[in-house]
Amino acid sequence: MPGSIPASATVDELARPAERPGGWLRVVLEFIRQRPLGAIGAAIILVMVFLAAGAGWLAPYDPLETDYAAMLAAPSPDHWLGTDAFGRDVLSRIIYGSRTALMVGLGASLLGATFGSLIGVASAYFGGRVDLIVQRLMDVLFAFPVIILALAVVAVLGTGAGNVILAIAAPMVPRCARVVRASALAVREMPYVEAARASGFGHQRIILRHMLPNVMAPILIMATAFLGEAILLEASLSFLGLGVQEPIAAWGLMLRGAAVQFAESAPWMAIFPGVAISLGVFGFNLFGDSLRDALDPRLRTQ
Partner 1 sequence: MGTYILKRLLAMIPTLLGVAVLIFVLLRIVPGDVVEARYLAQGSQFVSQDLMNQERAKLGLDKPLWQQFTSWMAGLARLDFGVSMWTGGEISEEIKLRFALSLQLAIMASTIATLLAIPLGILAAVKQDTWVDYAVRIFSIAGLATPSFWLGILMILTMLIVFKWIPPMMFTPFWVDPWLNLQQLIWPALAVGYRYSAVGTRMMRSAMLEVLREDYIRTARAKGLWLKLILTRHALKNAILPVLTIISLEFAFLLGGLVVTEQVFNLNGLGMLFVEAIARRDYTMTQALVMLVATVFLLVNFFVDIAYAWLDPRIRYR
Partner 2 sequence: MKGCTRFIALVAAALLWLPAQAQTPRSGGELVFPVPSEPPSYDGHREETFGLIHPIAPFYNTLLRTDPNDKSGTKPYPSIAESWTTSSDGKTYTFKIRRGVKFHDGSDLTSKDVKATYDKIVFPQAGVGSSRKGQYADVASIDAPDATTVVFRLKEPSGSFISSLLSPYNFIYKADILAKDPHWYEKNIMGTGPFTFVEHVKGSHVVGKKNPNYWDKGKPYLDTFRAVFMRDSAAQVAAIRGERAHAQFRGFSPAERDSIVNTLGNKVTVQEAPWDCILLVAINHEKKPFDDKRVRRALTLALDRHTGSKALSKIAIVKEVAGVQVPGTPFATPPEELNKLAGYWTDIEKSRAEAKKLLKEAGVPEGFQFTFLNRGIPMPYEPLGVWLIDQWRRVGLNVTQQVIEPAAYYGPLRKGDFQVAMDFQCGYIVEPDLDMYKFLSTDRNHANYGRYTDRVLDELYDKQSRETDPEKRKAIVRQFEKRLLEEEAHYLMTLQWHRIIPHSAKMKGWTVTPSHYLNQTLDTVWLDQ
Listing DSSP states for 254-270 in one string gives HTSTHHHHTTTT-THHH
- For 119, the enclosing helix (H) or strand (E) is helix 90-126
Q: Shortest gap between Cβ of 233 and partner 1 (angstroms)? A: 10
Residue 160 site contact among partner 1, partner 2, none (CB < 5 to 8 Å, cut-off depends on kind): partner 2
Q: How far is CA 263 from CA 7, 49, 67, 255, 257, in A?
A: 71, 29, 20, 10, 10
- Does the footprint of partner 2 cover residue 295 (CB under 8 A)? no
Q: Which residue in the set 47, 49, 85, 216 belongs to the binding site for partner 2 (CB under 8 A)?
A: 85
CA 240 to chain centre: 21
Q: How many CB atoms lie within 10 A of CB 292?
A: 18
Residues whose CB falls within 8 Å of the CB of residue 22, separated by 6 or more in sequence, listed in order: none
- Which CB atom, from 88 or from 178, has the smaller least distance to partner 2? 88
Q: What are phi and psi of 112, to 5 degrees?
A: -65, -45
Site mask for partner 2 (CB under 8 A), range 87-126, x = bound: ----------------------------------------
Residues at the interface with partner 2 (CB under 8 A): 64, 66, 68, 71-72, 85-86, 155, 158-160, 241-242, 245-247, 256-258, 260-262, 264-265
Residues at the interface with partner 1 (CB under 8 A): 36-37, 136-137, 139-148, 151-152, 155-156, 228, 232, 235-236, 239-240, 252, 255, 260, 263-264, 267, 270, 274, 277-282, 285-286, 289, 296, 298-299, 301
